[in-house]
Amino acid sequence: MHCFITGTDTGIGKTVVTAALLRGLAARGLRAAGMKPLAAGATRDGAELVNEDAELLRACSSVALSRPLVCPALYLAPTAPHIAARAEGRTIELDPIVDAYAEIRRRADVVLVEGIGGWALPLGPATMLSDMVARLDLPVLLVVGVRLGALNHALLSARAIAADGARMVGWVANIVDPDYAYAQDTVQALIERLPAPCVGRLDWQPGAAPDTISHSLSQAVDLMAGTG
């Protein structure tokens, strides 16, 4: 299953989850490719811009992909992408993203497209992130950063995904605050309320490698592989 990976916020583990899923799919013999179509926050490597998240997805893919193909819309400033684009005198165009995705899809069995920030993200005066997902025609996996406030963020995200006409196929609970004493209660409350199944849980594992984390996401890997 080709899929779009979104999250309840920025910094809640979308890239880690996507990378782990890619490694899990590769371990099953699938040509798995990651894409980070939009990114803001880059360094320079000669003439190329480099984004850390996009580089991790490239490294964890089992298909060789160029930087511009993995991340066709990359901006220097670490802020919302439409603000970063405007700072460079540019606008975000969806056609190059759609074309890059189509090329990656031709080369891979499974393509996982990681979003940026949360779901309700502007890309321009009249364009939202959901418009890009609609153009790519992808179902959605939601990564929930489990901490104080996660119930509100997760339930609002699920409502927004549905309201925008996208299909949420599952969610992953990622414990991002090791000191939050009510993580399990929060996960259970979301299991009872979210309109899609929980297909994985990641406990607090700072610095864990994607190959290690993928074992905790076997149900999500099954879903992406079409065997779940």
Q: Is 36 a catalytic residue?
A: yes
For residue 71, the Cα-to-chain-centroid distance in whole angstroms is 13
Tell me the CATH number at 193: 3.40.50.300
- Its domain, for residue 177, covers 3-30+93-99+106-225
pLDDT band at 228 (very low <50, low <70, confident <90, very high): low
User: What's the pLDDT at 144?
Assistant: 98
Say if 72 falls within a structural domain. Answer: no
Say if 55 falls within a structural domain. Answer: no
Say if 205 falls within a structural domain. Answer: yes
Among 36, 58, 82, 201, the one annotated catalytic: 36
Say if 79 falls within a structural domain. Answer: no
Say if 143 falls within a structural domain. Answer: yes
Say if 123 falls within a structural domain. Answer: yes
Q: At what angle do helices 129-136 and 94-107 cross, to 10 degrees?
A: 40
Task: Decide if pLDDT at 9 tops 90.
Answer: yes
b/e sequence 5-34, b meaning 16+ C-beta within 10 Å: bbbbbeebbbbbbbbbbbbbbbeeebebbb
> What average pLDDT does range 102-108 have in this prediction?
98
Say if 7 falls within a structural domain. Answer: yes
Q: How far apart are CA 2 and CA 148, in angstroms?
A: 31
- pLDDT tens column, 39-85: 999 998 888 889 999 999 999 999 999 999 999 999 999 999 999 99
- pLDDT tens column, 26-35: 999 999 999 9
Report the length, in residues, of the chain.
Answer: 228
User: What's the pLDDT at 121?
Assistant: 96
pLDDT band at 207 (very low <50, low <70, confident <90, very high): confident
* Structural domains counted in the chain: 1
Say if 48 falls within a structural domain. Answer: no
At 20, which amino acid appears?
A
